[in-house]
Structure formats: structure tokens, C-alpha cells
Amino acid sequence: MGLHENSRMDALLNQLTRANALFLIPILGLGGSCQNGYHVTGLSSPSPFIQRFINSSWYHRYEEPPPPHTVTLIWSVIVSTYAVGGLFGALSIKCVTGLVGIKKGIICNSLVSIVAAAIMFSSKGAESIEMVVIARGLFGFSAGMGMGLHLMYLGEISPQKIRGKVTLTLATFTSFGKLLGRFFGLSEILGREELWNILLIVPTCFSVLQLLGLPFFPEAPRYLLIEKGDQEACKKALQSLWGRGDYKQEIDEMLAEQAAINVVRPKSTLEVLRDRNVRWRLITVVTISSCLLLSGMPAISIFSFDIFLEAGIPAEYIRYITLGLGGAEILAFMFCGFIIEHTGRRVLLWVGLGAMSATLVLITVTLTLKDYVSWFPYTTVGLINLFIIFQCGGPAGTISTLSHEIFIQSDRPAALVISGIIRWLLFCLLSMIFPFLVSALGSYCFVLFACMAMLGSLYTFFLLPETKGKSLLEISEAFKDLTVCRKSFKPDKSVQTKL
């Protein structure tokens, strides 16, 4: 009887210990990618109020109303400054992790978000457009660094068998942040002219939560073993997060990776760019994430109010429609989480991108013919929902897992910095030119997005090897076996001799 009681007690303790990871993942998500999602959509609802704020601040300063094109330009700067900040945040990842580690880096990043919130809150009373721009830049910096650190932490705390599901939570919390941005943007909540500055600082509450909660959790196990060489601390961290066990498979994988790093030291950003053996993996992540970004999803998220207004939807209904879009995103990500370990990464990527391309073509048709068919505006709403389902149920949910899986520890920080730089540059460009692109091309701008999505689908179908169920070193070998235009990506013999 005593043994039976002890066994039950051990099982209960194991369940309670395992729950640590279930607390850590939401804390990471709410303070990490959730904030990026919120800031992307949270600017859509108050956009008319902020543009009126630009008018009033300009008039208060110069005693004359600003020209319309000046308002458009300042609004574009406010939108795109977020991406500029994100670019610098992505650039800082390798430096921060090298100095203080991943966990402390996330804690420091939360402080940046809190400072940005204080500036944004004060901007309205000060009637300062510059303070809005500075706050948006700091929010972007926090998001750029936070997304990279969030992904690294998720990948490093997750056992191999569930790595896809755990890293997918980054995309799920991004989607949840978008939903929160739309929800708080409702006129019944904070979507009123007198509250727009408060609306934009809501996610800082999650930074405070992360700042208070994260110190009670362990450092990333992979970081402890590979960077610090402390195998016992690594094992204790895994047991603290996932329950009792020897975690031999995970530790053996880390030791093999550490052995590879002992032969090839951790690389700088420039060394990764020059390394022929990493180049194909880097090109793959950059190409797929760029095609995904340029397929129009950020533009639809930021300018959803203007897109639906252009489609002919009454303004009083638009905020509720965009709230439905956020719900569709979360459901699609949850579906992706259920199937990613069964279907694999490659299929979800090429099928999802191809379906997105076809949907964007249909959106172009319905927007073009909206004046001739009375029900086409509502068809546009349905197609945009379908586009989001295809995007979040496949490529958007898979790219974070793929980005972590295809780089070993010595290459990962620098590779994430490089891919992050390119993504944030493209996001900045898209945010800046989209209002002018719509003015010049109208609904035909979605044809350009469709072409980019199709390019990503073709690239994935023909060139991406499957990574499901493979160790990081096995994935590296799969990329070395690729041959493109009769050119192999195997290591040079000269390099092998040196090593």
C-alpha cells in the first residue's frame, strides 16, 4: 500500500512539474510574438483618429492645416517606423544572447516595451507626432528582438518529438495578438478617439507579466549544455519544464551538436553569409519567409479597415468583420498544430502558398467587379477569410518551426539575425508603399501578392527537403545533398581537410 501511495505521489509530482512548461509557453507567447501581432492590427482601428491627431498637431504647431499628401506621408512613416525598429531589434539578437543569454535577453526586452508604452501614452497630451514615431520605433525594436528570442527559447526547451507543436505556438500567439488588437479596437472597448493612445499600449501589460514571471523559470536547456557546457543543469532544466525522465535522446542530440560546434566554432553574421555549407539553408528560410510576407498578409492586417471600406462594406460593420478574421487565424493555427507532426513541413508550405495565390486572384476579381455585382463585397470578405485560413493553417504556422530546425546552434543566432533583417526590411517597405500602391494599382495590387505566393509554393515544392522527425544534424545533411542546376551543396574537400 505504501509503494502504491508513493507511486501515486510521484505521478502527481510529475504532472505538477510538467505543468511548468504549460505556464512558461503562455508567458513567452504573451510577452513575445503576441505583442507583434497586436501592434500589427492594433493600428488599423484607430487609423482615422491618428490621422486627425496628425492634422490637429500640425495645426497647433504651424497654425495651418497640413496638405493631404503630408498627412499620408506622416501616417506611412508612423506605420513603417515600427518595421525599422523591428530591423534593429533583429540585428541585436546575437549580441544580446552572447552577453546575457536568452532568458535574460527576453527580460531586458520587456523593459524596452514598457519604456515605449510610457512615451506613447504621453504623446497625445504633448501633441507630439515625434513621440508617436519614437514609441512605434521602440515597440518595433521590442518586437524584432522578442520574436527572435521567443523562437530560440521555444526551440531550445522543446523535446524533439513535439518540437513542431511547441514552436508553432509562436505563430499562434501572433494570431492571438492580432485578435486582441481587433477586439480592443472595437468602439465599445477602446476604439474611440479619446482613447487611441491607450489602445496602442495595451500589450505592455503582458511585458509586465513576463518581467515578473520569467525569472522563476530555467534558462534554455540547449543553451546551458552547448553554450555553457553544463550537462547537469541542462537535464535539470528539462525535468523542471517537462517532468521527470532522463531525456537521453534530447541530451545525445545536443552533445552531437556540441561536438560539431567544437570543430567549427560559433559563427558571426558575416561568416554565416560567407559559409557555403549554410548558404542553401539561409536562402531557403529567407525566400520562403519573404514570399510569405510579400503575399500581402501584413498589408491586409494593417490596412484591413481601408481594404473593406474600398470593397464597399459599411464602416460600422468593418471592425466586427476584422474581429472574425482574428478568430479564423487562431482556429487555423490550432488546426496546423494538430497536423504538423503528421503531415510534415514541406506539404503544408507548398499547398498553403499555392492556395493563397489562387485566393488572391479571386480577391482581385471581386474587388474589380464590386460595382457591378451587389453581393461581391461580401464575397471579398469570405475570400479574405479563406486566404487567412490557408496562410495560417500552413505556411505561417510552419515557417517558425522550419527556421529553428534547419540551423545548428553555432549558426542559428546569426542566421536568425540575417533572415530577421530581410523580413523587417520588406515589412518596412510594404508598410510604407502599400497606401501609394493601392492608389496607383487599385485592386490589381493583389495580383503582385499572388505572384509572390506562387513563387514561394514552387520553390518549396521543388527544393525544400522534409524536416519532420529529423535531428538538427540530419536536417543539415539533407540540405547538403541538394543539387540545383547540377550544382551540389556538399562541403568542399578543402574545408573537410581543414576540419
- The least confident of 27-41, 273-287, 318-332 is 318-332
Whether residue 9 is predicted with pLDDT greater than 50 in this model: the reply is: no
pLDDT of residue 484: 56
Whether residue 445 is predicted with pLDDT greater than 50 in this model: the reply is: yes
Of the residues 263, 278, 297, the one at which a domain ends: 263
Whether residue 488 is predicted with pLDDT greater than 60 in this model: the reply is: no
> Grid coordinates standing for 453?
505566393
More confident residue, 93 or 430: 93
Mean pLDDT of 338-367: 86
Same domain for 230 and 191: no
pLDDT of residue 12: 41
pLDDT of residue 499: 32
Does residue 4 lie in a domain region?
Answer: no
Whether residue 486 is predicted with pLDDT greater than 60 in this model: the reply is: no
Whether residue 83 is predicted with pLDDT greater than 50 in this model: the reply is: yes
CB 206 within 8 A of CB 146: no
Q: How far apart are CA 264 and CA 243, in angstroms?
A: 33
Length of the chain: 499
pLDDT of residue 112: 93
Same domain for 244 and 136: no
Q: How far apart are CA 131 and CA 121, in angstroms?
A: 9
The CA-based diameter of the chain, rounded to the nearest angstrom, is: 86
pLDDT of residue 202: 92
Report the chain's mean pLDDT, rounded to a whole number. 79
Tell me the pLDDT band of 200, cut-offs 50, 70 and 90. Answer: very high
- Residue labelled with grid coordinates 451587389: 374
Does residue 210 lie in a domain region?
Answer: yes
Does residue 498 lie in a domain region?
Answer: no
CA 495 to chain centre: 35
Same domain for 481 and 442: yes
Does residue 13 lie in a domain region?
Answer: no
Q: What is the DSSP letter of 67?
A: P
More confident residue, 485 or 418: 418
Q: How far apart are CA 117 and CA 35, in angstroms?
A: 12
More confident residue, 43 or 124: 124
pLDDT of residue 183: 87
- The least confident of 105-109, 183-187, 294-298 is 294-298
Same domain for 171 and 40: yes
Does residue 362 lie in a domain region?
Answer: yes
Same domain for 65 and 53: yes
Which residues touch 217 (CB under 8 Å, ≥6 apart)?
Answer: 20, 23, 24, 27, 103, 240, 241
**Percent of the chain beyond pLDDT 90?**
14
Q: Which of 114-118, 207-211, 301-305, 439-443 has the highest mean pLDDT?
A: 114-118
Residue pLDDT, tens place only, 457-481: 999 888 888 777 776 667 777 776 6
Instruction: Give the residues across from 487 on adjacent strands.
Output: 484
CB 32 within 8 A of CB 170: yes
pLDDT of residue 303: 65
Task: Report CA-CA distances (Å) from 374 to 311, 313, 324, 366, 380.
Answer: 11, 11, 22, 10, 11
Alpha helix ranges (H) inside 127-162: 129-157
pLDDT of residue 16: 42
For every residue of 398-451, DSSP letters joined together read HHHHHHHHTS-TTTHHHHHHHHHHHHHHHHHHHHHHHHHHHHHHGGGHHHHHHH
Same domain for 229 and 138: no
Same domain for 234 and 342: no
pLDDT of residue 363: 86
The dihedrals phi and psi of 487, each to the nearest 5 degrees, come to: -110, 125
Whether residue 80 is predicted with pLDDT greater than 70 in this model: the reply is: yes
Whether residue 405 is predicted with pLDDT greater than 60 in this model: the reply is: yes
> Grid coordinates standing for 368?
474589380
Same domain for 140 and 284: yes
pLDDT of residue 270: 80
Residue pLDDT, tens place only, 285-322: 889 988 888 887 766 766 666 677 766 777 777 777 77
Instruction: Give the residues across from 484 on adjacent strands.
Output: 487
Q: How far apart are CA 104 and CA 110, in angstroms?
A: 10
CB 246 within 8 A of CB 19: no
Does residue 20 lie in a domain region?
Answer: no
Provide the domain limits for residue 242.
218-263
Q: How far apart are CA 440 and CA 294, in angstroms?
A: 18
Same domain for 358 and 239: no
- Residue labelled with grid coordinates 486627425: 52
Residue pLDDT, tens place only, 112-167: 999 999 999 999 988 899 999 999 999 999 998 988 888 888 877 777 677 777 77
Mean pLDDT of 249-256: 77
Same domain for 253 and 197: no
Whether residue 495 is predicted with pLDDT greater than 50 in this model: the reply is: no
Q: What is the DSSP letter of 229?
A: -
Q: Is 141 exposed, middle or buried (0-12, 13-18, 19+ CB in 10 A)?
A: buried
What count of other Cβ atoms lies within 10 Å of the Cβ of residue 209? 15
Nearest to 266 by CA among 409, 159, 146, 435: 409
Mean pLDDT of 176-189: 86
CB 32 within 8 A of CB 178: no
Instruction: Give the residues across from 488 on adjacent strands.
Output: 483
Whether residue 414 is predicted with pLDDT greater than 90 in this model: the reply is: no
Does residue 368 lie in a domain region?
Answer: yes
What's the CATH number where 161 sits?
A: 1.20.1250.20
Same domain for 480 and 345: yes
Tell me the pLDDT band of 19, cut-offs 50, 70 and 90. Answer: low
Which residues touch 298 (CB under 8 Å, ≥6 apart)?
Answer: 40, 427, 430, 431
Mean pLDDT of 476-489: 61
Does residue 14 lie in a domain region?
Answer: no
- Residue labelled with grid coordinates 499628401: 69
pLDDT of residue 110: 92
Same domain for 437 and 321: yes
Total number of domains in the chain: 2
